Chain A
Amino acid sequence: NAGVTQTPKFQVLKTGQSMTLQCAQDMNHEYMSWYRQDPGMGLRLIHYSVGAGITDQGEVPNGYNVSRSTTEDFPLRLLSAAPSQTSVYFCASSYSVTGGQPQHFGDGTRLSIL
């Protein structure tokens, strides 16, 4: 049981490039989410999903796209990377879509945009 797996662990991009951050969970959780973590700003929600085929925007969605074709996978796409998107990205999943249950986090993808 691997939990939440994120790939890659590190990535350097040039401004304007696109890429996809992968996230997979093997706990059959319906709820999945993406956060970015920046110094002094905590964790901010980018996008979330309450099940396959259902996604919605979080607090800071601009510049990012998501899709959820299966329960297990929730990739995050950067359309045209900008230096402001340099951050650590965390994917999380939860048993409950209605709240009241903890989230399980991956170990993050550290992304630098030059």
Chain B
Amino acid sequence: QQQVKQSPQSLIVQKGGIPIINCAYENTAFDYFPWYQQFPGKGPALLIAIRPDVSEKKEGRFTISFNKSAKQFSLHIMDSQPGDSATYFCAASGGYQKVTFGIGTKLQVIP
């Protein structure tokens, strides 16, 4: 049972576009929702995270939108750059650190 559903699996945008990656979760006990960025040959690295008591969080060009009632959250990348080309994972955890990851979105930003 996939507890965190992520879409799309791949995404191509032009430089300056705003890619949006969506995730949905089922377990209402989840209380921490991080996004990780992974470059080829490297491990995932924390990009930005949100807790369910806020509806939006911005860090630089990256924004998380959170809809607690719909159990959905999304990542927006403003003014995307070729250097943002990577795989992005949403995740969710609650209580002890058994983090559940989405399947990942491979983003390509075309110059």
CB under 8 Å from chain A, chain B span 29-57: 31-32, 34, 36, 41-46, 49, 51
**Bound-state Cα–Cα, A31 to B95, Å:** 13
B13 at the interface (CB under 8 A from A): no
Q: Kindly state the separation between the CA atoms of A94 and B104 in the bound complex, as whole angstroms.
A: 21
Q: Within the complex, what minimum Cβ distance (angstroms) separates A6 from chain B? A: 8
Considering only residues 1-22 of chain A, those with a C-beta below 8 Å from chain B are 4
Q: How many A-B residue pairs lie within 8 Å, measured between CB atoms?
A: 67
Closest to B9 in A: A40
User: How long is the Cα–Cα vector from A45 to B46 in the complex, in angstroms?
Assistant: 17
Bound Cα distance from A44 to B98, whole angstroms: 10
Name the contact of A33 in the complex, choosing from B42, B94, B95, B97 (C-beta under 8 A): B97
Residue contact A40 to B96, C-beta cutoff 8 Å: no
Q: Interface residue tally of chain A, by bracket?
A: 20 to 34
Q: Which residues of B contact A108 (CB under 8 A)?
A: 41-43
Q: Name 19 interchain pairs, CB-CB below 8 A, sorted by A.
A: A33-B99, A41-B103, A42-B89, A43-B89, A45-B98, A45-B99, A45-B100, A48-B98, A50-B96, A99-B31, A99-B96, A100-B32, A100-B93, A102-B34, A103-B99, A105-B44, A105-B45, A106-B43, A108-B43
Besides A33-B97, A100-B31, 15 more A-B contacts (Cβ < 8 Å) are A33-B99, A42-B6, A42-B102, A48-B97, A50-B97, A94-B97, A98-B95, A99-B93, A100-B32, A100-B51, A103-B46, A106-B43, A107-B43, A108-B41, A108-B43
Please name the 9 residue pairs, one residue from A and one from B, whose CB atoms are nearest each other, closest first.
A105-B43, A102-B46, A42-B103, A43-B101, A42-B101, A100-B32, A99-B93, A107-B43, A31-B97
